[in-house]
Structure 1
Amino acid sequence: MALKKYTLPKEERISLKRHLDKLFEKGQSFISYPLRVVYLCTTEEMPARASIMVSVSKKKFKRAVKRNHIKRLVREAYRVRKYELIDPLTEKNKYMLVAFLFLDKELPSSAGIEKALSKAIRLLLEKEHLKELATETFIE
């Protein structure tokens, strides 16, 4: 069994403009409040099984410090739970682009973000019919 690394390297972040354009053009979305999740599942080879991006509205949070704090919370919650999404994708030989867009006008708590992200990953697996392959170690 390979040792799992709970890191978030550059390969797991969406950085190419063509990937972003494809995600927002062809992707589907749902809301796991306070996050709106836009995703696109594909069989096209990519650097990582699941690549993510996090966005916070400048209109709702004027200060960069607050926007960066929220993005840090979302990335940390994803980093801890990423194998709940990556393992089923690996078994089905699929790749996924995911954007997490923060919707709320208030600063969130860490627990609230973790709960929303856990629900978002569960919904991603259900919507892409990967749930039967998911491990039974979901944190509800």
Structure 2
Amino acid sequence: MYTLKKEERLCNKKLIDGLFHNGSSFLCYPFKVSWMHAEKDQQFPVQIVFNVGKKRYKRAVDRNLIKRRMREAYRLNKQINLYNALDNAGKKLVLSVSYIGKEISSFDFVEKKMLKLLTQLAGEAIK
């Protein structure tokens, strides 16, 4: 339940390209979310990739810290706020979450915004 397995991570370059060219997106500061519906054959309801821009955060340790906080907040909240809604609707998603904030946020802030992002995404994806 509270895991983030390899199969849940988005690695397929064609899917990533399709996501950024054909997908929908919205802003939920400090995140920019791109998503699109996926084929029914994937094992998990969502495949996700986390991005932090090298242009804004030059040091790899800063980028890794932000990504670690994003992954942890997603891992703890995905089941209740996203997976259950998608399973009930029978939908599958491909998802990209990019961090566009200007400063390194605390985990509490990141988790609060991730909750908001997941509920907003569930509402949009089910429509």
TM-score (norm 2): 0.93
Establish whether residue 42 from structure 1 lines up as the match of residue 42 from structure 2: no
Deviation beyond 3 Å, 4+ runs, structure 1: none
The AA in structure 2 aligned to 1:15 is C
Identity of aligned residues (%): 37
User: Structure 2: which 5+ runs fail to align?
Assistant: none
In structure 2, distance between residues paired with 1:100 and 1:56? 9
| Structure-1 separation of matches of 2:47 and 2:104 | 25
Q: Report if the CA contact (8 A) 1:14-1:20 is conserved.
A: yes
Partner residue of 2:115?
118
Residue aligned with 2:34, SS:
strand
SS at match of 1:101: strand
Q: Note if contact 1:29-1:38 (Cα within 8 Å) is conserved in structure 2.
A: yes
TM normalised by structure 1 equals 0.85
1:54 is aligned to 2:50: yes
Structure number with higher relative contact order (C-alpha < 8 Å, ≥ 6 residues apart): 2
RMSD over aligned CA atoms reads 1.2
Aligned residues: 126
Among residues 102, 113, 122, which one is paired with 1:105 in the alignment? 102
User: How far has the Cα of 1:42 moved from its partner?
Assistant: 3.2
| 1:43 positional shift | 4.3
Task: Flag the structure with higher helix content.
Answer: 2
Cα distance between partner residues in 2 of 1:31 and 1:87: 23
Contact preservation (8 Å) 1:43, 1:93: no
The 8 Å contact of residues 91 and 126 in structure 2, kept in 1 or not, is answered as no
Unpaired runs of at least 5, structure 1: 131-140
Question: The residue matched to 2:25 in structure 1 has which SS?
Answer: strand
Point out the more displaced range, 108-117 or 73-82: 108-117
